[in-house]
Amino acid sequence: MNKTLSVALCGQDLLNHPFLNKGLAFTPEEREAFELHGLLPRAVLTLDQQVDAALKFLDALPSPFARHVHLREVQDTNETLFYALLTRRIEAMLPLVYTPTVGEACQRFSEIWQRPRGLFLSYPERDSMDDVLANPAYDDVRIIVVTDGERILGLGDQGAGGMGIPIGKLSLYTTCAGISPDQTLPIVLDTGTNNQDLLQNPAYIGWRHERIRGPEYDAFIERFVTAVQARWPHVALHWEDFSSANAAPILERYRNRLCTFNDDIQGTAAVTTAAILSAKAAHDGKLKDETIVMLGAGSAGVGIARLLLQVMLDEGASEEEALSRFYMLDQDGLILADRAGLSEGQALFARRDWKERPTDFGTVMQESRASILIGVSGVKGLFTEKIVRDMAEHCERPIIFPLSNPTSHSEATPEDIMAWSDERALVSTGSPFPPLDLHGRTHRVDQTNNAYIFPGLGLCLLATGATRVTDSMFMAAARGLASLSPLRDNPDGNLLPPVTQLRRVAFAVAEAAARQACEDGVCPEFSDDELRDRIRSIVWTPEYDHYEKV
């Protein structure tokens, strides 16, 4: 329902404010009151008319990247129109504002940067961080997404260009969960880059310096977290696309100091677990009876394995029994207990019973007889025809998830996996793929996209005022998502709901995570009705308010 909003800005200042600007939708009365005559063409359009015109223009553009750039221009000039576009055509817009197109946008960020959005906190200016954050424009911030740009999707170090990821993630908080865009803040911690192409590019917008490491880096992160806590004591801080060497240690260091989580570790784990729980529930199976090969032993792979391990423990398996069901590999082969330099998570899943045998992927798959194969390797084509056919020989419904993104880095295509498994595999990918033609029917390809989890979790945090984010909240979020699986009611259905239902998903995830937060004691107790009312009271919808002059 439209409401009346008191606005102090007028003229060009109002038109330059993306959250308040309506473009040609300002009424004649508003144009008079806010000194807009002459600054706008004569025509007055509705939001619907603006959406139709914008869609027509977008559809005529030659490539997804061109559409991404234009959408960012719309976002920087009229946020209400931008989110109206996203909410009304989310299936088409999601790949444009996030993976896979956001990968190219990060690589070319220095080319497309035009207007300030978010904050670039660079190491040389670390002493002024408090002053930068003190800007009154950020008084209402409630969710921050931060990256240092070192591990962007499967593309590696993109330096300051990593800003495309926080911008994209926060647009999904608003689109999927209705969190008002003026309560969100994207941040890049510019600690340099080791990408030689960027360092040698005269147009590069970031700090032209090799990445800082060690105590200097840790001190910079500490300074940032301390400044955020002082500025916004109750903010939700979302870490994104840090290197494996930094992601888990940062999370462990700060998870008990403020309300914070790492989406690559915990969000990826939750949505993957939800998809696998959906598969097992539909076929009356238990995860503890499955054998899992994890191809990729970075922070995402370890995070997924940890949550799946917890599912097995919840099903009654002992830790020894559950761990025996995991085989984790990286570029050097199977992770063995006697390998030097293992992280805590890698050491947990390292094998101790694999003596004097080859540790390559093919041998591990053959001897383990895995029924679940998950790829977070970032390397295209590792799930070969032989690997998939061998799985299908001993497993009636193999679960195969090539999760690396963007699309060009996927371990296999859904089309190949289905062909090689005689159309029996349960497949979910990390990036969007076109539908498949199976038995004369069009079948949507599931996408294990973190957008199924983090927007709802953010909505939970804002609605409950939770002081911490617990692992059990992510498990609850996974189970909440799994409860919506179409496969539960239809043997030919998908593992996950369509992305057109992401708003419904966000509400279900928010409620599930919030109930767990209450149980974990990290927020006050709420009745179910109170909780739903608090969630709905937060939700912002992209509609124009009526403005009156202050």
Catalytic residue positions, numbered = 98, 169
Peptide bond into 100 cis (omega under 30): yes
The amino acid sitting at 78 is N
Residue 131: helix, strand or coil by DSSP? helix
Q: Which of 57, 142, 140, 147 is nearest to 102 (CA)?
A: 147
DSSP assignment of 306-362 equals: HHHHHHHHHTT--HHHHHTTEEEEETTEE-BTT-TT--HHHHHH-BSS--SS--SHH
Tokens of 477: 């979020």
Residue recorded with tokens 């990256």: 147
Determine the number of helices (DSSP H) and then strands (DSSP E) in the chain: 24, 16
Say if residue 405 carries a ligand binding annotation. Answer: yes
Residue 225: helix, strand or coil by DSSP? helix
Contact 30, 547 (CB under 8 A): yes
Contact 407, 98 (CB under 8 A): no
DSSP assignment of 504-527 equals: HHHHHHHHHHHHHHHHHTSS----
Tally of residues, the chain? 550
Q: Which of 334, 272, 264, 262 is nearest to 305 (CA)?
A: 272
Say if residue 151 carries a ligand binding annotation. Answer: yes
Say if residue 411 carries a ligand binding annotation. Answer: no
Radius of gyration of the chain, Cα coordinates, nearest whole angstrom: 24
Say if residue 241 carries a ligand binding annotation. Answer: yes
Say if residue 240 carries a ligand binding annotation. Answer: yes
Rounded Cα distance between 234 and 236, Å, is 7
Tokens of 47: 């939001």
Binding residues: 151, 240-241, 264, 405, 449
Q: Which residues are annotated as a binding site for a divalent metal cation?
A: 240-241, 264
Give the annotated binding-site residues for (S)-malate: 151, 405, 449
